[in-house]
Amino acid sequence: MVKARSVGIGMDYSPTSKSALSWAINNLIEEGDRIVIVHVVSPKAEPTNKQLFQDTGSPLIPLEEFREINVYKHYGLNPDPEVLDMLDKVARTKRVKVVAKVYWGDPREKLIDAVEQLKLDSLVVGSRGLGVLKRVLLGSVSNYVVLNAPCPVTVVKGPPPPKA
């Protein structure tokens, strides 16, 4: 019996994070795996229970609960029907368990925390495709995670920008 894998997907609802989710569903996720959607919310956000979970992140939130609008608001998130539909479909078709976890703080550090705390077998993140100068000034989340995560990391480029 092959051990079910636990695959984390960094999600901020940007086009690149949606591309990362789509790529993971189509190329990585297998029947019986567990998908952990990892949200990292700005430390400036003030959801009702942030202080309770500031250091460890939220408890794992099952997909069924995560669909409820009050749960989204409880954690300071905005629901995205497209992402929820993708997760519902993969849960049904590949019989995977889908959960979410919310962290507050620097995405670089919190994605590494998620890998370690949740014992993820793999992490998939999107790349915003910053130019060299912006990457040097702002730092790249995906680059940091690739260099520091104790598991394999897949960086998925987003869709190409529309032509003018």
At residue 157, the pLDDT reads 82
Phi/psi of residue 4, nearest 5 degrees: -65, 140
Residue 121 structure tokens? 């077998």
At residue 53, the pLDDT reads 67
Query: Domain coordinates of the chain in residue numbers?
Result: 6-157
At residue 48, the pLDDT reads 54
What are the tens digits of pLDDT across the range 95-151? Answer: 999 999 999 888 899 999 999 999 999 999 988 755 554 444 445 788 889 899 999
| Architecture of the domain spanning 6-157 | 3-Layer(aba) Sandwich (3.40)
More confidently predicted of 105 and 8: 8
What are the start-end ranges of the H helices in the chain? 15-27, 50-53, 63-66, 69-74, 81-93, 107-118, 132-138, 141-148
Phi/psi of residue 13, nearest 5 degrees: 70, 10
What are the tens digits of pLDDT across the range 31-90? Answer: 999 999 999 887 666 655 555 566 788 889 999 888 887 787 777 787 789 999 999 999
At residue 138, the pLDDT reads 43
Question: pLDDT at residue 161 above 70?
Answer: no
What is the bridge-based pairing of β-strands 153-157 and 34-41? unpaired
At residue 142, the pLDDT reads 85
Cα 20–chain centre separation: 9
pTM listed for this prediction: 0.86
